[in-house]
Amino acid sequence: MSPASEAAPVIPAAQELGGRLHPAVLVIWPFSQIVPLAILLLTDTVAAAFAGVALALAIASGVVRYLRFSWRLAEGILVIEQGLVSRRRRVIPIERIQSVDLVRRVRHRIFGVVEVRIEAVGGSDTEGKLDALSVADAERLRAALLAARRTARPARPGDAAATVDTATVAYPEAPGDAAAGEQLVAMRPAQLVLAGLTGGRVGVAVALLGAAQQLLGERLGRLFTDLPQRFSPAALVGLGAGLLLASFVLSVIVTTVAYWEFRLVRDDDELRVSRGLLEQRLDTIPLRRVQALRIEQNLLRRPLSLAAVKVDVAGKAGGDDTRSAGLLLPLGTLNQAQTLVGALLATPTVADVTLRPMPRAALRRRLSRAAVVTVAPTAVAGGFLGPPGLLALLIAVPAVLGARSAYQALGEGEAGGVLVTRSGLLVRRTAYVPVGNLQSLALTASPFQRRAGLATVELQIPRSPGVWGGPQLLDVERDRAETVLRRLAAELVRGVRRSDELHLT
């Protein structure tokens, strides 16, 4: 029943790898201390002697760490040992590895080395982190991990591809150009500028600035009497416009630098994402580790029919770069995004599946929320300010519009064994979940939902912690929720392993 666990990964003896990190870590590790120390030194905050001692300590601890760090890949198991006082030994069986990322920050590129991040199921951090390897070593390690994974893949009838693919892909010097395989996405600089202009960063900035301006606008009269020379309305507007422009420019720069030369390549049964101008990355995701895909559209991109595509993979560390985590398409038309999702799931029909809207009761729920959001502040404002406080009733306009938009976002559908759900007000997310990837299901109903005859079906899949709550059918009719739950449960028990048939043509 479980071929994956029986077929022990066979690694040729030649692919036994291991050793220490690249000696460049001796500089790369203290690097993070050097910069703040230099700043402190230059601003005369600390004495030179203090800085020297701190630097010496950092270097010494780096040397000790280097000497006590070793890694080894043999017989399908990656072992990383480290630690001075308490030795830590991390053992990662290859079949648990979800993705392998190669990262080259500027400091890595100076020495021509690569950081390797290996993500496995479970745990919240990066399971295997090798801070610096030579490019050749990193590439051999990546190839070995992936080759072994291919051998470990369960063999299916008539599957001729279950041999070790020894073709290694050279780490692209300029990311993307040396990569073999079928190029699915390539971003041009102009597209990156558009991505920056419509990115969430600007969305947040616009909202914040709008709110700030409104706040200042209300107090404008008082400010005007207090400080007439310093804060004229024109100056305020100018200040706001300047900040807005700056945030756009910043967003464009950040986006362009981060996603420079963005390439998504499919090679046999793996996806490779390469990107970055200063910090270069090459992420590898085996296609069968893809748990779900989702199309994201924020407020700015929706009217322009633009969208981004993200992938859900288990085991990625949350935190630092959740924004770019799992990004497969930074920006494209909605059509492109849907086509890409269809191609990656080997189900082209999902591209144009029509989503069933949720019952009107779902709209009533959102409208009553809008009513609460309007009435409560109005009551407070009216109580304190008298009749002028009733102006707070104007909140009703955005609240009702938001409620309608949130309702219109809701939808569910299915095509070729892929469940499609959509929701979200600020960021509209359409999730595509192959039924075979479901781990478990839950039907939940709050008191409000029960009174409205609604329920939510959570589609629980292996994924990584992050801002996203996971795919769910939000506010479906209670009867339908139960039908869906029963049907999916029966399908899971029957063992419809759709993922086994995926992407392996």
Going by the DSSP 8-state scheme, the letter that residue 11 receives in this structure is -
Angle at the Cα of 358 from the Cα atoms of 355 and 363, rounded to 5 degrees: 135
- From the number of C-beta atoms within 10 Å of its C-beta (0-12, 13-18, 19+), residue 370 rates as buried
Which residue, 305 or 440, is less far from other proteins as judged by CB?
440
Smallest distance, other proteins to C-beta of residue 500, A: 6
CB of 6 to other proteins, least distance (A): 10
Provide, rounded to whole angstroms, the least separation between the CB of residue 94 and other proteins: 13
Residue 176 or 471: which CB sits closer to other proteins?
A: 471
Contact (CB, 8 A) for 356 and 411: yes
In Å, how far are 214, 289, 304, 354, 397 from 342, measured between CA atoms?
43, 16, 21, 14, 38
- Interface segment toward other proteins; rule CB under 8 A; list 65-73, 273-281, 370-378, 481-489: 481-489
138-197: which residues touch other proteins (CB under 8 A)? 154
- Is 489 one of the binding residues for other proteins (CB under 8 A)? yes
Question: Which of 131, 464, 472, 473 lies at the binding interface for other proteins (CB under 8 A)?
Answer: 464
Structure tokens at 461: 């899949």
* Per-residue binder mask for other proteins (CB under 8 A), 77-96, x = binder: ------------------x-
Tell me how far, at minimum, the Cβ of 182 lies from other proteins, in Å: 24
Tell me if residue 169 falls in helix, strand or coil: coil
Q: What is the C-alpha separation between 299 and 425, in angstroms, rounded?
A: 8
Q: Which amino acid type is present at position 357?
A: P
CB of 371 to other proteins, least distance (A): 21
C-alpha–C-alpha distance, residues 130 and 233, integer Å: 55
Three-state secondary structure readout of 177-229: CCCCCEEEEECCHHHHHHHHHHCHHHHHHHHHHHHHHHHHHHCHHHHHHHCCC
Report the residue from 109, 188, 360, 486 that binds other proteins according to the rule CB under 8 A: 486
Query: Under a CB-based contact definition with an 8 Å cutoff, are residues 254 and 196 in contact?
Result: yes
Q: Judged by CB under 8 A, which of 470, 477, 480, 501 binds other proteins? A: 470
Q: Is 445 in the site for other proteins (CB under 8 A)?
A: yes
Q: Which stretch binds other proteins (CB under 8 A): 36-44, 232-240, 331-339, 492-500?
A: 492-500
CB of 214 to other proteins, least distance (A): 36
> Cα 47 vs. chain centroid, distance in angstroms?
43
Task: From 129-137, 184-192, 292-300, 455-463, give the range in contact with other proteins by CB under 8 A.
Answer: 455-463
Residue numbers at the binding site for other proteins (CB under 8 A): 1-5, 95, 121, 154, 288, 314, 436-437, 439-447, 450, 460-465, 470, 481-482, 485-486, 488-489, 492-493, 495, 497, 499-500
